[in-house]
Chains A and B, each alone.
Chain A
Amino acid sequence: MSTSRATRKSTMPQWLKVALQIGLVGGVVVVIIALEGMIQAFNTRDIIGSVVAMSQALLLIVFLGTAYIAIIRSKLTDFRRLLVVAVVVGLVSSALLVALILLGQVLDLGNVFINATPALYDLLTFKLGLAAGSIVLLVVGGVSGAAAAIIHALPTRWRRSVIWGLVAVFAFGLLRDLIVTTFGGLTFLTGLLFLPNGLSVPGAITLFVIFVALDYFWSQRGAQIRSGIGARKPVRSSLLIGGIIVLLLLPQILGLYFSEVLDNVGLYLLMGLGLNIVVGFAGLLDLGYVAFFAIGAYTVGVLTSPDFGHASILTSWWFALPFGVIAAFLAGTILGIPVLKMRGDYLAIVTLGFGEIIRLLALSDFLKPFIGGAQGVNDILKPTIGPIQISNPPEFYYLILAGCLLVAFVAIRVKDSRLGRAWMAMREDEDVAQAMGINLVTTKLMAFALGASFGGLSGAIFGSKLTSIYPQSFNFFVSINVLSLIIIGGMGSIPGVVVGAIALVGLPEMLREFSDYRYLFYGLALVVMMLTRPEGLVPAATVKRELHEEEPQPETLGEAATAMPK
């Protein structure tokens, strides 16, 4: 029986099967996007003003992406057949969406999916009415597929450039506000490129052309330029100085709101660098990292807030800061002791519990007289430098930047030392590390404590920045965010943590209207990363080699093993 089924199946060509399968997947994805309410939510932002909304761009990305995947999966070389595959994928995907719209006319889907409203169908049919709109939608699907096939058919060098051009147009449209604020002085330029809502059509075309040209130029000359930069010391150091100047000027350029975003990125970066020591260097999975952030914030808060009887012990934030960091350091050590013998999953579970215990203690009535319970800690002192009080986001930016530079310096120095090697050895093989004379107790505790103290520093700044802290600020999601950003950035890689913090903390802050979908995107980003780039965006050098280099075949193993006496 199975053979007969196999022969019947083989009447359908393999490429068509692939096209239908992936088309269905794409269709399911767009239907989910629609039912999740993303179409309505993202309709408020335009990529190209009044022409392409963010929601439509999202659908286009899915159509293009699935068609492209199908093209690669089909392993065909004939362009005409590829075109058919891609168009089929686009049509099938959009047909599923049309089916949803039609189904919505017959059944009231709103009972189950609250977002399945007439407004949704209106948006999906481009407000053209049911029949015309459905046809346009199908055409869009088919054309997107064809576009994917054409992009694929371009010579490799051009293909890359065109993809970069599209990504650039999308990114510029998405980050319009940031860009307009940054280059606000250059009104003639921003006026040319942007409308009040998104890019202008000529702007989009200009950007596309510029980026295609830039990428093409880079692919021709990039290697040469890069080696030129690497070789000449003055060029490198001037780049470094330029980078530092930009970092110092950023809040002045970006203004209040984006400085606030940068502050949050920086606070998460501090935590990321700390957790990176524990998870990335030493290989100890800690899911309760928020505890140390909380301990740093609460220690400084309680010591400087007038809310409590023992207030004004410390009259300056700077005096309280070391206590916050030391408290976190000690807490890291105390957490470390009971989990010394634990590995992997068990360690993760215990640390998870620890994080929750700290939050519940902060919330408890039992400790209310000392740390405020649900009312939290209020009127926390702000740092002062001489007569200047650090109070607004741009001022905090400099404090946080200094913290990040300090912590990154420590992390880099420690990584490349006897202690850093001991951590890595422990991560690779704990038993062997011990057999080589590494004291696991002190080595593990040092990882926990140093990582925790970075978190404590972050918390100390966080508390004084907000002046009030509440137990809810220190929930499990903070731990998850920090862990996600180091996974996405690249475990054990310090530049990776920076990139991860910008991508996972900075971007969502800039796209406030997407906040409902923040965790959906986190999840999606993690899954996609694990499937396509498990080593992270900016991997640590060795991890990269580990995951992508072919394993050498131990050539003699096979023959010798058989020759061994049994």
Chain B
Amino acid sequence: MSLLQLKKMVKRFGGLVAVNNLDLDIPEHVIYSVIGPNGAGKTTVFNCITGFYKPEGGDILLNGDSLVGLSPDRIARKGITRTYQNIRLFSNMTTLENILVGLHPHLTTNVFGAIFRPPGVRQEEAQAIAEARRLLQFVGLAGQGDLLARNLPYGMQRRLEIGRALANRPRLLLLDEPTAGMNPRETEDMTRFIRRLRDELGITILLIEHQMRVVMGISEKVSVLDYGEKIAEGTPTEIQNDPQVIEAYLGRGSSAAEVSTFTRTAA
């Protein structure tokens, strides 16, 4: 059954149609990728799903309930969390604090609890810290809870951002170019890590990617956006050989050599 459905979703900025009549159907427990050239509207789709943009038309359904018009924090509480293409950590907070902020919706302490700290609050706080440490370990940052997020190496910042998203306990995790700026080795590590998220934690993943190689390796299903429209949908192999996709990526009239290079890197 499908977890998230986009139905004829339209997003315009003034006269520019960023996303046009987009239909997506994301089943539970899959890794679903959205690819497309720069400016195709991929990140706009993320912003619509997470509530930062309000689509002009169509609907977004999570388990059949519409998300349109809900504020981003309400949508986060319903189980959709995202990461960002340009990493956006709370850079002057420690790694542990970053994760604890991710746990925020699942904690209940209010201002009076914070001041008087009754046993229930102390217990909740201790449990939260324990869970945050477990998550740090899961993302490979064990024992580094006191480091400032900004002082982590690049690859670790990516992982911390995912860790923070996991603390939100999402059912659907949106990853915006998680391998951007990574070398091939790091990319491979990240790909393996994403697969673990699905296999071990059972989280459905919607992935925006630029690098064909990553997408083809891990996703069950791929949609291709170009100029805000879905031009293809299918399994990685189907997408790879779709002439329309090749045209969108390489331009019309590309030479046979270029095309074969494309399909080869994609594989």
* In the complex, per-residue mask of B140-183: 1 if CB is within 8 Å of any chain A CB, else 0: 00000000101111110100000010001000000000001111
- In A407-462, the 8 Å CB interface with B consists of 409-410, 413-414, 417-422, 424-425, 428-429, 431-440, 446, 450
Q: Sample 11 A-B pairs with CB under 8 A, ordered by A number.
A: A414-B114, A419-B110, A424-B92, A425-B101, A428-B93, A432-B90, A434-B76, A549-B148, A556-B155, A557-B181, A560-B183
Question: Does residue B137 face the partner (Cβ distance < 8 Å to A)?
Answer: no
Name the 10 nearest CB pairs between A and B, nearest first: A437-B105, A417-B114, A554-B154, A437-B76, A428-B90, A425-B101, A560-B183, A418-B109, A434-B72, A546-B92
Q: Is the CB of B111 within 8 A of A419?
A: yes
Question: Does residue B117 face the partner (Cβ distance < 8 Å to A)?
Answer: yes
Given A420, A434, A543, A560, which contacts B186 in the complex, CB threshold below 8 Å? Answer: A560
Question: Does residue A532 face the partner (Cβ distance < 8 Å to B)?
Answer: no
In the bound complex, what is the Cα–Cα distance between A560 and B168 (angstroms)? 30
Contact stretch, chosen from B54-62, B77-85, B221-229, B235-243? B77-85
Question: Does residue B91 face the partner (Cβ distance < 8 Å to A)?
Answer: yes
Question: Does residue A520 face the partner (Cβ distance < 8 Å to B)?
Answer: no
Q: Is the CB of A546 within 8 A of B76?
A: no
Question: Does residue A551 face the partner (Cβ distance < 8 Å to B)?
Answer: yes
Q: Tell me the minimal C-beta distance from A18 to chain B in angstroms.
A: 36
* In the complex, per-residue mask of A63-104: 1 if CB is within 8 Å of any chain B CB, else 0: 000000000000000000000000000000000000000000
Contacts across chains A and B counted by CB atoms under 8 Å: 136
Q: Which residues of A contact B101 (CB under 8 A)?
A: 421-422, 425, 433, 436, 438
Q: Tell me the minimal C-beta distance from B13 to chain A in angstroms.
A: 17
Q: B interface, how many residues as a size bin? A: 35 or more
Q: Which residues of B contact A564 (CB under 8 A)?
A: 180-181, 210-211
Q: Which residues of A contact B71 (CB under 8 A)?
A: 434, 439
Closest to A422 in B: B104
Q: Which residues of A contact B102 (CB under 8 A)?
A: 436
Q: Is the CB of B114 within 8 A of A546?
A: no
Q: Which residues of B contact A450 (CB under 8 A)?
A: 111
Q: Tell me the minimal C-beta distance from A432 to chain B in angstroms.
A: 5
Question: Does residue A386 face the partner (Cβ distance < 8 Å to B)?
Answer: no
Question: Does residue A559 face the partner (Cβ distance < 8 Å to B)?
Answer: yes
Closest to B169 in A: A437
Q: Is the CB of B73 within 8 A of A434?
A: yes
Closest to A449 in B: B111
Q: Is the CB of B77 within 8 A of A414?
A: no
Q: Which residues of B contact A439 (CB under 8 A)?
A: 71, 73
Question: Does residue B100 face the partner (Cβ distance < 8 Å to A)?
Answer: yes
Q: Which residues of B contact A555 (CB under 8 A)?
A: 153-154
